[in-house]
Amino acid sequence: MTDSQLIREIKDGNVQLYSELMRRYQRKILAFIYHMLKSAHREMLAEDLCSETFYKAYRSLHSFREIDASFSTWLYTIARNTVLSELRKQKAANLSLDESSYVPVAPEEAAPEQQALRKERMSMVREAINQLPEKQRSALILREYDQLDYQEIASILGQTVSSVKSLLFRARTSVKAQLEPYFGARPLDEYEGMNP
């Protein structure tokens, strides 16, 4: 069953099918939220915000119109807005943000020195991404981590495709400039931590 068919069925009262929509998108939305967050407790917070995103989507499903956007674009937009709202709350509360607690652990078979080096590099990449302005960070995460096309990113961010390309160019240039002193001149996709 396609997303469109599921949504029609849900709107017609078969609310049990909403769990199928959640199953299809939960991992992607959770990963997107996880990468957008900066806080030390982002794993738990990402799960909470993912649940909140799906709750908001369910409550607003009656207003969803396929002619305006695909369901996934609409859902990513809700997720993005939910994260931005949370980040504003954190900023207002002046929470301390510690980047070190969310760096993934390197594979077990790597030597301890290699694990430490990889963890440090990934932390540097994430720190560089976190320093980007919000729209550049969102565009880069949606493109590099979620591998969305330019049109989908444009819809989510409320920008034109050419604006998205410009945001991505500026984001990549900024991240590369921040990382060059540590990694040398390498293509952005070669930096550890850019892709999950």
Please report, for the domain that includes residue 195, its CATH number.
1.10.10.10
159-188, pLDDT tens digit by residue?
A: 999 999 999 999 989 988 888 887 766 555
84 and 135, same structural domain? no
Instruction: Give residue 194's pLDDT.
Output: 54
Q: Which residue range is the domain that position 135 belongs to?
A: 107-196
104: pLDDT strictly greater than 50:
no
Instruction: Give residue 90's pLDDT.
Output: 72
Instruction: Give residue 101's pLDDT.
Output: 38
Please report, for the domain that includes residue 79, its CATH number.
1.10.1740.10
Closest to 4 in 3D by CA, of 77, 71, 75: 71
Instruction: Give residue 75's pLDDT.
Output: 94
174 and 111, same structural domain? yes
Instruction: Give residue 87's pLDDT.
Output: 80
Instruction: Give residue 9's pLDDT.
Output: 92
66 and 46, same structural domain? yes
Q: How far is CA 38 from CA 6, 19, 84, 126, 132, in A?
A: 34, 29, 11, 9, 12
77 and 54, same structural domain? yes
120 and 66, same structural domain? no
Q: How far is CA 59 from CA 9, 18, 54, 62, 64, in A?
A: 15, 11, 9, 7, 10
Tokens of 58: 């369910």
pTM comes to 0.62
112 and 94, same structural domain? no
Tokens of 8: 């029609």
Instruction: Give residue 36's pLDDT.
Output: 84
89 and 1, same structural domain? yes
168 and 149, same structural domain? yes
54 and 130, same structural domain? no
Domain boundary, last residue among 32, 66, 98: 98
Closest to 137 in 3D by CA, of 175, 82, 186: 175
The amino acid at residue 109 is E
Q: What is the pLDDT averaged over residues 38-45?
A: 72
Domain boundary, last residue among 98, 116, 131: 98
Q: What is the pLDDT averaged over residues 78-93?
A: 81
Domain boundary, last residue among 51, 72, 98: 98
136 and 114, same structural domain? yes
154 and 86, same structural domain? no
107: pLDDT strictly greater than 80:
no
Q: What is the pLDDT averaged over residues 121-143?
A: 86
Considering its fold, how many domains does the chain have in total?
2
116 and 196, same structural domain? yes
Are 142 and 171 in contact, with CB atoms under 8 Å apart?
A: no
The amino acid at residue 136 is Q
Q: CB-based contacts of 157: which residues, under 8 Å, 6+ apart? A: 80, 135, 138, 139, 142, 163, 164, 167
Per-residue HEC secondary structure of the chain comes to CCHHHHHHHHHCCCHHHHHHHHHHHHHHHHHHHHHHCCCCCHHHHHHHHHHHHHHHHHHHHHHCCCCCCCHHHHHHHHHHHHHHHHHHHHHHHCCCCCHHHHCCCCCCCCCHHHHHHHHHHHHHHHHHHHCCCHHHHHHHHHHHHCCCCHHHHHHHHCCCHHHHHHHHHHHHHHHHHHHHHHHCCCCHHHCCCCCC
